Amino acid sequence: MRQGRSMDIKKIVGQMTLEQKADYLTGKDFWQTQEYAELGVPAMFLSDGPHGVRKQAAASDHLGLNVSIPATCFPTAATMANSWNEELGEKMGEALGEEARAQRVNVLLGPGLNMKRDPRCGRNFEYFSEDPYLAGKMAASYVRGIQKNGTSACIKHFAANDQEERRMASDSVVDERTLREIYLTAFEIAVKEGKTKSIMTSYNKVNGVYANENEHLLRDVLRGEWGYQGMVVSDWAGSYDRVAAVKAGSDLEMPACKYGAEDVVKAVNEGRLDVKYVDECVERLLKLNESTRIPEDAPTTFDIRLHNDIAKKCAEESIVLLKNDGVLPINSGVKVALIGDFAENPRYQGAGSSIVNPTVLSRFVDKLTKDNVRHAPENKNYKQGVGTVGETPIEVVETYVEDMIEYDLDAVGYAKGFDRYGKKSDKLIKKAVELAEKADVALLFLGLDEVSEAEGLDRENIKINQNQIDLFNAIKATGKKIVVVLSCGSAVELSRVDGCSALVYACLSGQACADAVLNVITGKVNPSGKLSETFPVSYEDCPTSNYFPGKKLTSEYREGPFIGYRYYEKVGKKVQFPFGFGLSYTKFSYSDLVITDGGVQFTIKNEGQVAGSEIAELYVGKAESALPRPAKELKGFKKVCLAAGGSKRVEIPFDDKTFRYFNVATGRFEVEGGKYDLYVCASSDDIRLSGSIEKLPTTDVMPYKKTELPSYYCGDVKNVSDEEFEKLIKRDIPSSEYPFYKKNRMVIDENCTVSDLRYSRRWIGRFFSWLIRFTIGFCRTFGMRTTANTLVMGVLHQPVRGMAKFGGMSRRQMEGLLMMFNGRFFKGFGRFLSKGKKA
């Protein structure tokens, strides 16, 4: 097909054979869709990219084990959510879309929209918030930006995928109201307001049915209620029953899986699947293909300097000042000591499939001690521009050395201070103390390392490594002022560093992290970020601490809607730093609240001597309610920039989500009648203005009885009984136990994980599982934590079917393995050795 000519989609579908249609619904290879040149249908390229394009040179490098083509590494979603700036999110998204197009990527796999249900989730750095409204608004802004030039965003992982442990085999057991209000609302906003063209399903089951074949999620809610008409794609190797998936409306299976297509053809021929479902999927894929078509003459370069500046602006607006005893901003001429491994090797992004190879990386030691910038990777230079499909990477981008920003600080030197992976070293601490004694202020760079929070596994705790705390205490003993710069992708316990003079939360700020943090520390930028998640005093305070992660076969969401600030406020639990909190170098006052049927209006004034930005947050509560409710919930926000002494009239409108709740009795969102309390806040626990409004009910049907759900009505949800949880979910709790037919023995099927093989009937399965677990333990014992984590994510928790879905063997060989695991060794061995088509 010539470029610029539109497709006759109905005609193309009519010309395709059933086999071609079925093939089109599965990948051509690891990253591309099928192509049919004779029909004018080119392949589409899909690539990871929540905070930067990760186009791999190796065709099957799903985990990002090798270097990808350089791209701008923007702040992660967890960081950007702290900016509360939708316009900036859209600008970042536009840059992402431009880079994707330059690299000939049609579909960018991001952003991630799962909730920060628990701070231990290893992938929290890739998600926006504990609050669905904030997450949805930020995601919608990303999507609008990404899709401005034709690239498709792909929001993920739909849905209730809020833990990494056993994510491919776990069943999320959650009541319908909590599912709709907490875990689907962000997706709904991104679909309706962002108009995303693509959605990726999650690996897990949701209430007993795998998400990728879940008709309730895909047909009833996504396409039915929300009116979504775009593409649905499986996560990689996340398609379980391909026929059921097609019927549910999941269009594309990735990566390439020939036997999935064969199953579809067979089901149609046998009358088990109506061909209309196949045609619908094909049509949606063709529509996406047409809308994301990249002209041959489209630019293959992007403005590296401009995009780095956007990354820096995003980081600056996302940095949260959590504490300041007057030491910040640091005045010119002050002697500072840079201490901590993260000053030299900054923690600026997450770990796993979202890893980006940055075009340039600014480091704190370079900015204050060497006056140069490290290039990625390993200071190698590249030619300007970005390669097209098939070109070798890195021949196509030349990173630049940005103009040095002058910082009027007297850096006395740098000391590593600690081993980033936790190994204790008195020698490193001693050198750091000696350096600190020469300075007026110690800039102490603390946080989590790359293997403590990563895709595929959850954190063991929410503590900072003890060797970092030992360093902090040693520096504190010198009497010097300490400014802690914290780098991590989710909440950590901070009580043990409470004695610092200032605490700057950088989160994971992308490739321009050093410039952004130093601009804030020196006062070139007034911090304006606010927390998008609560920092608890300790993990034991978390509402999910008794339920996370789910063990064995299920993950029970017994806490219901009470996650994050919704729980802490309901039960009056003290926190370290509340949701929506963040300091500035100036002060803001709120006044003159006016409430109308359409929203709230009020005035914000900058009472200080420097310009600054303030984020006003609107919360809604209902003290007298027939429903179990949080004390209040975020329903709107606005970020405004004010000159010193300036003021502005601010309006936050109501929308269709302001007063709604999901009624499980009527099966739809309703409004409870009565008085609603409105709070204009500087953070979730800092109410500046308040008022109320009356609303009429949309139904008299109330779905709950207070006597049946006492824990939920009072919010004390940490120890919900089986009986009460069953009342909430309105069914029996599914068993979390393995289906043993005798002690520690069960039938192994393709959906069992490698970890589950320890319960197989034959020794070969048990030995293989033991070998993997032994290797993981060996790697951890001898300091190879990255290798251990890769084995956990890529092997131990991988279902047996993944061996075929990822192309390692044919389905026939996989079936042979299952026979061997289940006691039919010789027959299975013969089947394994026989020839069969690769998946």
Is 175 in a helix, a strand, or coil? coil
Residue for token digits 């984020």? 615
Is-catalytic flag, 303?
no
Of 413, 318, 352, 374, nearest to 77 by C-alpha is 318
Give bridge partners of residue 495 from the DSSP assignment: none
What torsion do the CA atoms of 373, 377, 381, 385 make, to the nearest 10 degrees?
A: -110
Strand partners, 651: 601
DSSP symbol at 696? -
For residues 689 and 679, what is the distance between their CA atoms, to the nearest angstrom? 6
Sequence-ordered list of residues with C-beta below 8 angstroms from that of 743, at least 6 positions apart, any chain = none
DSSP state for residue 391 in the 8-state scheme: S
Tokens standing for residue 612: 């600054």
Distance CA 359, CA 73 (A): 7
Contacts of 385 (CB under 8 A, 6+ apart): 102, 300, 301, 396, 397, 398
d(CA 467, CA 502): 20
CA atoms of 579 and 129, how far apart (whole Å): 10
> What is the spatial distance between Cα 729 and Cα 664, in angstroms, rounded to a whole number?
10
- Strand spans (E) along 684-822: 686-695
- Residue 775 sits at the vertex; the CA angle it makes with 773 and 780, to the nearest 5 degrees, is 95
Distances 359 to 99, 348, 720 between C-alpha atoms, Å: 12, 13, 49
Other Cβ atoms less than 10 A from the Cβ of 50: the count is: 28
162, 175, 235, 458: which is the annotated catalytic residue?
235
List phi, psi (to 5°) of 323.
Answer: -150, 145
What residue has token string 């290039």?
375
Are 153 and 518 a contacting pair, CB within 8 Å? Answer: no
- What stretches of 300-429 adopt beta strand conformation (E)? 320-324, 335-339, 410-415
Do 409 and 323 touch, CB atoms closer than 8 A? no
H-helix segments, 213-370: 215, 242-248, 258-269, 275-291, 304-318, 341-344, 364-365
Say whether 202 sits in a helix, a strand or coil: coil
The values of phi and psi at residue 695, to 5°, are -130, 145
Determine the length of the chain. Answer: 839
Please give the structure tokens belonging to residue 761.
Answer: 């009937």
Distances in whole angstroms, Cα of residue 671 to Cα of each of 185, 372, 635, 702: 16, 58, 14, 11
Return d(Cα 550, Cα 167) in angstroms, integer. 10
Q: Which residues are catalytic?
A: 235
